[in-house]
Structure formats: structure tokens, C-alpha cells
Structure 1
Amino acid sequence: MPRRTDTRQRMVRTAAELFRAQGYHATGLNQVLSEGGAPKGSLYFHFPGGKEQLAVEAVGLAGSDLRDALTAVLAAEPDPAKALSQALELLGRQLLASDFRSGCPIATVALDAAADSEPIRVACEEVYTSWQAVIAGHVGDEDLATVVLAAIEGALLLARTRRSLDPLHAVGARLGALLGRPTT
């Protein structure tokens, strides 16, 4: 049996996974509680702001998890083109592991709820800004980091929709050319 002190963290992590796969509106609180193994009364105890507060925290957690993974991948490879190619490979492995159900951990929530909720929009913006900063630190240019992030986000969406890693491979090859280096 899970420890009581883990309930809040399990709910946030469960919500992050569900929001990533099926979006904000399609994820019910009963589903989060059930899949997170949490008692019904714990939701509003831990999240008095309800589903919106839970989503903000889930976006933050999922965003920091990917930011940390991205930071590690980029730090391990000094060549920006190769590093970004490795980051795309990591994202591709995650897509395959989820049978193309889980693309970007933020995009589904951003598209689904950010227009209706300022706290969720801000949480998504903060995550994207943190990812862009990591990329900019590696490629040395803020505008180029915006292009890279947008290309990766688009590639993830296309890959998920097409159930194919081909868009990730194509973007990886073009990013290598954009950075002035082949990604072999």
C-alpha cells in the first residue's frame, strides 16, 4: 500500500500522464483519483483550487521532468546538431513506448485548456520558456532556440498523428543543416 505522504505527488504525476495522453477536458478527476490510488476526499484536501490547480502543478512537473532530461542529453553532447538529434531520439522512444499516445507533455494541455484558464496558460508558458532557455544555452541564440522548439513541437504532433517517427527524423536532419552541421 502506498504511503499517505505520497498521495499528493502520485495525484500530480498521474494527472500529468493523463493530461499528456488525453488532454485536460477528457481527463476526469475520478480517473485521476482511481489511477493514482487516492481516496476521493484527498483531491480538494491537496488541491483546494480543484482540477485547475492540479493541472498547473502537473504541467510544472511534466515540464521540469522533460527540461531535466533535455538538459542531460544536451550536456552530454557538445555538438548542438548531434545533441538535438539525440533529444529527438529520446522523444521518439517515449512516443513508441506509449504507442503514440503521449507526445509533448505540455502541448495537449496547452491546446486544450490554456485559452480558457490563465493559470494553466501561464504554467504552459513557463515550461516552454524553460525549454527554450535550455536549447538557447546549447545553440547560443534565442531566436534559433525558438525555431528549434517550434520544429520539435510540430514534429511531435505530426509523429503522434501519423503514428510514425518520420517527422522527428526529418526535423532532426533539417535542424542539423540549419545549425550548419550534418547529424550523421
Structure 2
Amino acid sequence: MARRTDTRERVVRTAARLFHAQGYHATGLNQVLAEGGAPKGSLYFHFPGGKEQLAAEAVALAGAQLCAELRSALAAEPDPVDALRAVLGLLGAQLLESDFAHGCPIATVALDAGAQSEPIRAACAEVYDSWQRAIAEHLDRPDADELAAVVLATVEGAVLLARTRRDLAPLHAVGARLGVLLGRPTG
């Protein structure tokens, strides 16, 4: 018999995957439960705040997973420009692997439900803040926080364009300009 926490974790993981691909409003609770292999009665037992609570927790999980991948890619390369190019490569590989169905695991939910739900907006903001902190720590310079915000916004926009166009060219363009963005002399 599965432990109670196994069901809860399975539902959060399933919700994260579905919200990522379909958005908040297009993902039904019955679909989450069916694909997560959870009985109907378990939803409000594990998530008394309903779909909104489930979405906030799914966003936090998906965001933490990508943050760990981001930190790993950054740690593997001491040069910030090369490290961020590696991150772009990772994001591009994820887009290709999903046939452009999965872009940023947070953006779909943030755009779909963040304006109507304070818990979901707060969860999305915390994820974006964690990614920005990871980038800023790797930049290690006085203007790191501000520059990390610019880098994050640029990368997030490139992922959206790449997904929409079904083409990695926006990611490649950002990668080609990272040196200029980060103040590396051209030459």
C-alpha cells in the first residue's frame, strides 16, 4: 500500500507536469488525479486549499527542480558568459526534447493564473527570485542583482520566443550576445 505522502507527492509532480504543458485553467483536477493515480477524495485531504494550493506547490516544486539544474550548470563553469550559455543549451535541449511543448515550467502558470491568485503569484515570484539569486551569485559583482534580473528576463523571453516559433534561434541569439550584456569586451 502506498504511503499517504507518496500520493501527495505524486499528485504535486503530476500537477507540475500538466500545469507546465497546459497552463492552470486548461488543467482539470480530475485529470491531475487520474494521471497521478490518486483517488478523488485525496485531493482536498492533501490540498485543503484546492487547485490554488496544488498549483502553488506544483510551481514551487518545478521551480526548485529547474533552480537545481541552473545552479549545477552555473557551478560547472566558472566564466559567467560560458556558464549562462550552458544554461541556454540546457533550456534548448529541454525544448527540443518536448518538441517545443514545454518552455519555462513557471511562465505558463504565471501568465495564466498569477494575476487572479495571490498564492500562485507569490509562488511564481519566489521561483523567479530564486533563479535570479542563483545567477547573481555566479556573477559576483556589485551590480549582480540588477544584471541577473536583466539576464533572467532576457533568457525567459528567449525561451518564450523559441517555444512560440518552434526554433532555437532566439536562444542562440541571446547566447551570442551574453558577452556584451555582461560587459565582456568584444574582440
TM-score scaled by length of structure 2? 0.94
Q: Is 1:154 matched with 2:152?
A: no
Q: 1:168 aligns with which of 161, 166, 171?
A: 171
Q: Secondary structure at the match of 2:6?
A: helix
Q: 1:99 Cα shift?
A: 1.0
Q: Is 1:36 matched with 2:36?
A: yes
Give distance in 2, aligned partners of 1:103 and 1:110.
Answer: 13
- Structure 1 partner of 2:110: 110
Q: 1:2 Cα shift?
A: 5.6
- Structure 1 partner of 2:13: 13
Q: 1:46 Cα shift?
A: 0.4
Q: Give the unaligned 5+ runs of structure 2.
A: none
Spell out, residue by residue over 1:58-117, the C-alpha distance to the aligned partner (whole angstroms, 9 max, x if none). Answer: 000001001111001101100000000000111111111111111001000000001000
Spell out, residue by residue over 1:10-34, the C-alpha distance to the aligned partner (whole angstroms, 9 max, x if none). Answer: 1101111111111000000011011
Paired residue total: 183
Q: 1:180 Cα shift?
A: 3.7
User: Could you tell me which amino acid in structure 2 is paired with residue 60 of structure 1?
Assistant: A
- Structure 2 partner of 1:55: 55
Give distance in 2, aligned partners of 1:176 and 1:168.
Answer: 14
- Structure 2 partner of 1:179: 182
Q: Secondary structure at the match of 1:152?
A: helix
CA RMSD of aligned residues (A): 1.6
Q: Is 1:145 matched with 2:183?
A: no
Would you identify which runs of 4 or more consecutive aligned residues in structure 1 move more than 4 Å?
1-4
User: Could you tell me which amino acid in structure 2 is paired with residue 13 of structure 1?
Assistant: R
The more displaced of 30-39 and 3-12 is 3-12
Q: 1:177 Cα shift?
A: 2.5
User: Could you tell me which amino acid in structure 2 is paired with residue 169 of structure 1?
Assistant: H
TM-score scaled by length of structure 1? 0.95
- Structure 2 partner of 1:78: 78
Give distance in 1, aligned partners of 2:184 and 2:35.
Answer: 45
Q: Give the unaligned 5+ runs of structure 1.
A: none
User: Could you tell me which amino acid in structure 1 is paired with residue 133 of structure 2?
Assistant: A
Give distance in 2, aligned partners of 1:3 and 1:37.
Answer: 13
Give distance in 2, aligned partners of 1:38 and 1:155.
Answer: 36
Identity of aligned residues (%): 75
Q: 1:176 Cα shift?
A: 2.5
Q: Secondary structure at the match of 2:120?
A: helix
Q: Secondary structure at the match of 1:78?
A: coil
Q: Secondary structure at the match of 1:115?
A: coil
